[in-house]
């Protein structure tokens, strides 16, 4: 980028107070270093350490806050109140995207395929849930990211333990039908779906969990993803529709499964995905020729373009 001065003073929002704080610090530092290398007058800003009123001293914000407080519309609302342009999805899309149940309801209302689910509590009848969704199933906190608090339930006897684990992280918990098949992620950048990535965690983990996402080096990332050209285009189109349906914009990620019959199922949306060395957005962007620094600048450009929210 030849004229980085046009961005003025940029706050890279990182850290925060969610369960994903450590990942956000890693992501944010990577983004901050990339912007500085590109000549941007950027500084790290951790809302857990500083008052957000101090953001009034910045011209724009690059949001790399994962989870609650950063990905759910709260910081977006504060930035709008301060009239500071920011990257990514707006208030409403962020709030919907952070809520797995609301996201599913929007997708169902838009006739987009997503796995059946039930909201559950510690008092839920396990037999009724299993009768509705089958086994195995997956238990998820509704408002957490990075697979935090999630458990695969293969036996009805494990249902209560999985609920208890999830409720440590969230008052609202869901059970979701387990889709057996191949897992994919689709990165969206400035209105385009990038090449699909196939996720293949090692066989000793039940699913692409927190450990696999951030700490293991034996997860396989398939680019090309192994789908036929027509299947990949169909999945990219589906992901773009799903992203836009919840009101997401700018950049983000859609996670999906392909079942054993070849059908695609939407899992969830990530409106502030990871930007660490293990993260998927940089991998997909690299497949179409973006360096990490170029990717960060392309995202920052969103603050100049008046991206429709």
Active-site annotation, residues: 20, 146, 214, 253, 255, 268, 270, 274
Q: At what angle do helices 292-300 and 21-37 cross, to 10 degrees?
A: 90
CA distances from 12 to 44, 159, 166, 239, 285 (A): 5, 40, 30, 27, 20
β-pair type (137-141, 173-177):
antiparallel
Maximum pairwise Cα distance, the chain: 62
Three-class SS state of 210? helix
In whole angstroms, give the CA distance from residue 298 to residue 264.
29
Three-class SS state of 298? helix
Residue 42's beta-bridge partner residues? Answer: 10
Query: Counting every residue, how long is the chain?
Result: 309
């Amino acid at each position: 980028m030849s004229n980085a001065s046009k961005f003025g003073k940029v706050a890279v929002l990182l850290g925060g107070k969610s369960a994903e704080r450590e990942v956000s610090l890693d992501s944010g530092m990577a983004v901050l270093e990339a912007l500085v290398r590109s000549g941007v007058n950027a500084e790290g800003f951790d809302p857990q350490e500083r008052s957000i009123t101090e953001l009034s001293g910045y011209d724009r914000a690059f949001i790399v806050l994962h989870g609650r407080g950063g990905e759910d519309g709260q910081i977006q609302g504060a930035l709008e109140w301060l009239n500071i342009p920011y990257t990514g999805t707006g208030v409403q899309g962020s709030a919907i995207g952070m809520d797995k149940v609301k996201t599913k309801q929007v997708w169902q209302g838009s006739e987009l395929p997503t796995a059946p689910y039930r909201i559950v509590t510690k008092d839920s009848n396990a037999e009724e849930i299993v009768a509705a969704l089958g086994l195995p199933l997956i238990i998820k906190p509704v408002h957490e990211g990075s697979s935090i608090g999630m458990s695969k339930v293969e036996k009805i006897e494990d249902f209560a333990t999985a609920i208890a684990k999830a409720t440590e992280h969230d008052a609202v918990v869901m059970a979701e039908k387990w889709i057996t098949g191949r897992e994919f992620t689709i990165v969206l950048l400035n209105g385009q779906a990038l090449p699909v990535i196939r996720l293949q965690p090692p066989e000793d983990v039940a699913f692409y969990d927190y450990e696999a996402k951030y700490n293991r080096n034996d997860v396989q990332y398939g680019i090309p993803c192994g789908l036929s050209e027509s299947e990949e285009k169909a999945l990219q189109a589906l992901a773009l529709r799903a992203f836009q349906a919840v009101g997401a914009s700018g950049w983000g990620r859609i996670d999906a499964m392909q079942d054993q019959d070849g059908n695609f199922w939407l899992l969830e949306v990530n409106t502030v995905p990871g930007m660490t060395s293990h993260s998927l957005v940089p991998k997909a962007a690299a497949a179409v020729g973006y360096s990490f620094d170029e990717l960060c600048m392309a995202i920052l450009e969103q603050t100049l373009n008046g991206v429709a929210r």
